[in-house]
A and B are shown apart, each in its own frame.
Chain A
């Protein structure tokens, strides 16, 4: 919701110009030359913003795509999400004032994914991101023998895919995209304490899933 209102505000600002500006310029007694100079300045500022966007945000596309893939679980949706996220990011970029660029962009990626799910899941069947059913009390540690053979990548991928979305998100952000706890907290809009507990539970769940697969000889 806030993004929509933001969008309206952005449109309002950029669509506001000529008449009001003209009146203001006249009142201030600006010459045509001065007005053109101001316009040139504005467009070079736009140019500068775009250059900065391309140099800071485009290099993050690999990680952004990986995150989108793991959240959507298929390549086509992942591509759409990345496109949409970059468009939104570009529109809001003037509101980004330093800090972790990764965290800023990935938060948008995650929000786009969430809005995809919200559009698709029929009402009354909302899948909550909160899942306590996978909470695990105790487990055996991962057997080290498992690593003597090369564990099949497909089995590990399937285990991660089977995690509930909020656990999957922290695993991907931490282990594959290399974010700090603070950055993960920013992306997922939860306190650092929650990031810590989600990560611990996600790892515990994976350990159990993989140990079971090992027992069944799939690993």
Chain B
């Protein structure tokens, strides 16, 4: 027997990772659902097996000693490198080539970061969008009034996101919430368009995250990205791409 609606909550509940509201809701559901009670019981039994002390492997005593020894050698090596005497002209060549290496390293790293950032970030935004719909974590502030939503973010993010209600153009402002992306808090505005939710992630444009215009698809969700006035916007929804593009153009006007 399975409980389709709530089974995704069992693990997060077990691990104490549900937010307060979902925790209370699940607890209430648990009181009356046999399937979830059984699922939770089964998980608890598994957990007690896995958490037994003998499941863990202990490092041999010499390991700590040899790591400490290795660190001492490494520290000594760094000191000799700094203090050793170098013939007068060698350093110039060395410096030039090292600056070159450093520059090359910087270039490569910068490119790598830019390329790598695209994938995980898009995945992170999409999964954040899905979670917002799933775990009842869509809105921290619920209001269609831009003058209520905008001040709410003050002090919660390091920047003030532009907030516009676009109900007249078919995109009703539902509210906003604080989310976590790329290791920092970001402002998210929530819009509704024909009962479909559009999450609009807004963060300051920086070299660490991709910027400019793009249309992407991840796991069947569409994302439209653009940059304006020093901010990068990500609109994500299961609405069609042209709806999102229309949304973008409406906001820009």
Contacts and interface: CB of A to CB of B under 8 A. Distances in A.
A83 B55 CA distance: 22
A9 B108 CA distance: 11
A52 B64 CA distance: 16
B162 interface: no
Contact of A54 (B71, B81, B108, B116): B71
B41 A15 contact: no
Interface in A60-90: 61-62, 65-66, 69-70, 75, 78-79, 82-83, 86-87, 90
Interface in A200-214: 200, 203, 206-207, 210
Nearest to B109: A5
A181 B180 CA distance: 13
B20 interface: no
B216 interface: no
**What size tier do the contact residues of chain B reach?**
35 or more
A31 interface: no
B95 A83 contact: no
A180 interface: yes
Given A46-B75, A144-B41, A193-B131, A66 B50 contact: no
Interface stretch (B9-17, B202-210, B221-229): B9-17
A207 B59 CA distance: 28
B242 interface: no
B50 A79 contact: no
A156 B38 contact: no
Contact of B127 (A75, A146, A189, A193): A193
Given A13-B102, A82-B63, A90-B71, A196 B58 contact: no
Interface in A169-203: 171, 174-176, 180-181, 189-194, 196, 199-200, 203
B173 to A, nearest CB: 25
14 contacts: A8-B102, A62-B59, A79-B59, A83-B63, A83-B66, A141-B42, A160-B50, A176-B51, A181-B12, A181-B15, A181-B17, A190-B123, A194-B123, A206-B50
Given A6-B105, A78-B59, 18 more contacts: A8-B104, A14-B78, A16-B98, A19-B91, A20-B91, A20-B95, A54-B68, A61-B64, A75-B57, A86-B67, A87-B70, A142-B42, A142-B46, A147-B49, A156-B52, A160-B50, A175-B50, A207-B43
Interface of B: 2, 8, 10-12, 15, 17, 38-39, 41-43, 45-52, 54-60, 63-64, 66-68, 70-71, 74-75, 78-79, 81-82, 86, 88, 91-92, 94-95, 98-99, 101-102, 104-106, 108-109, 112-113, 116, 120, 123-124, 127-128, 130-131
Interface of A: 1-2, 5-6, 8-9, 11-20, 39, 42-43, 46, 50, 53-54, 58, 61-62, 65-66, 69-70, 75, 78-79, 82-83, 86-87, 90-91, 138, 141-142, 144, 146-147, 151, 153, 156-157, 160, 171, 174-176, 180-181, 189-194, 196, 199-200, 203, 206-207, 210
